[in-house]
Structures are given as C-alpha cells and as structure tokens.
Amino acid sequence: MLLDDQKTTARSWFESLRDRICAEFEAIEREAGSDATFDYLPWNRTDPSGEAGGGGVRGLMKGKVFEKVGVNVSTVHGQLEGDFAKTIHGADSDPSFFATGISLVAHMTNPHVPAVHMNTRHLVTTKSWFGGGADLNPPLPYDEDTAEFHAELKAACDRHDPEHYPRFKQWADEYFYIPHRKTHRGVGGIFYDHLEGDWGANFAFTQDVGRAFLDVFPRIVRRRMEMDFTEADRARQLEWRGRYAEFNLVYDRGTLFGLKTGGNIDAILMSLPPLATWS
C-alpha cells in the first residue's frame, strides 16, 4: 500500500471508531434516561511555515452517566520546530511530520464507574509507526473490572503476538506513573509506541485495540452506573481526578505533542476533569 493510501486508511479507521464509540456512549445515556449527545467542533491549524497544517474534530458530551467525555480525531501535518523535533522518532534529521489518531478521555458521574483513557495513532516522519493504548482509572477499584479490562486487552494483543501484552502492560505501568506522588494514576492497561515494520500487521493490531476498548468499557459502565454512592465516595473521586490532571499536565507526551504542534487547545486539554480537588 502506498504511503498516502496508508495515511488515508488510518484516518478513516480512527474516524469510524470515533463514530462507533460516540454512538455507544450516547446509547448508555439513553438507558439512563438522558438525552445528552456529543457536540462536535471542527478545528484547523496553521503550520509555523504559514501553510495549512490539517486539523480535527473535538467531540464533547456532558450527560447523566458521563460527567465529561471527549472523543477527538485529529489529522495534522507540517514541520516540527527546533529541539522538539529531536524528541520525535525519526524527525531528528527531517522535521516533516504527519499524524492522525483518536484520543478519548471519560470522567464519570458515579465514583463506582472508572474514568478511562484510550488513544491510538499513526505517525509518519522519516519513519512510519503506530502507538497508543488504554488504561483504566477507577477512584474505587473493583478487581472484577480490572481483570475484565486487562483480559480484553490481552486477548487483542495475543491475536497478534504473545509478547505484546506483557511488554505493553509493563510499559503502561511505567508510563502511567506519577513520580512526585509515588503512585500510579490507575490500575493500568497497555501502552505501546514506535510500532513499525509491517504496516498492515501493526494497523490490524491498532484496530483490535480500539475494538477491545469498545467492547469492554461499556460493559463496565453499565455494571456500575446505577450503584449508590456517598459523599465520601465523591470526595475520593475528586481527589483522584486531581492526580489525573497532574499527570496529564506534567508528564503526558500526547499533551506536549499537541501543544508543540499548534493543536486546538480545548481539544488537547479535554482530558482534564470538570471538577477536581487538592488537599
């Protein structure tokens, strides 16, 4: 497959995955008696060169079950600037880049329902690769939910390479860690990056990660969304949202990439919770 065809194929997949996820989340809102829907805001960027640099669509919903959920798809291109280019795989000798992907963060109303993050992407510099992952962030963890989330991701990994899950789980454990708090931001998942070589195989794996998320997370939401909760439960949720915000603002590479490439600020920071507390 030619490079331009690969870019178009990847973009189309991320957009179709967004549509399926948003439809499922809206269906959950209907089950809860809510008419909440996603609002979609298109945005465009200008490359530092002055040329058009692509853009994306920010999808945002605030409902009864999903206190705040963002599902973004962006497709951007242009030139990476200065020292930042040296930090991007394959861009140290040529700052030209192309990136397309989906990014999702859901903050839930009920503290028994875990917050979640999922992101998959395709980047092209002088190299071409996929990256992404998903991780579960429950204020009140349930072993059943954690096991089911990991089992679904492991099954997706095992269909492609038995070494994927142990490697990518460990990578997530190391990546989604808050050093200044000496704690993980959740119960983990998988994280992978710079997956290059066989484009078709890597794309198929990235698709399976998206499908696994779409299969498992709505099941967990439906299991917990009608549970009773206390003020203490809510306080715990807001405290852990603060940890989530700290990670995304201090350590998250996706946040930095979006800001450094001139992305839409609201889309980049949609990962931040609507309410949080710090003691």
The residues carrying an active-site annotation are 117
Structural contact between residues 137 and 244, judged by C-beta atoms closer than 8 angstroms: yes
Written in H, E and C, the secondary structure of 90-150 is: CCCCCCEEEEEEEEEEEEECCCCCCEEEEEEEEEECCCEEEEEEEEEECCCCCHHHHHHHH
Give me the helix-helix angle, 143-158 and 199-224, nearest 10°: 160
* Six-digit token string for 246: 């700290």
Structural contact between residues 81 and 198, judged by C-beta atoms closer than 8 angstroms: no
Residues 6+ apart with CB under 8 A from 228: none
Q: For residue 263, which of 99, 115, 45, 58 has the smallest C-alpha distance?
A: 45
> Taking the CB of residue 181, how many other CB atoms lie within 10 A of it?
12
Structural contact between residues 139 and 146, judged by C-beta atoms closer than 8 angstroms: no
Pairing relation of β-strands 128-137 and 177-178?
unpaired
3-state helix, strand, coil in the chain (%, to 5): 45, 30, 30
Dihedral pair phi/psi, residue 116, rounded to 5°:
-150, 155
**C-alpha span between 114 and 186 (Å, rounded):** 9
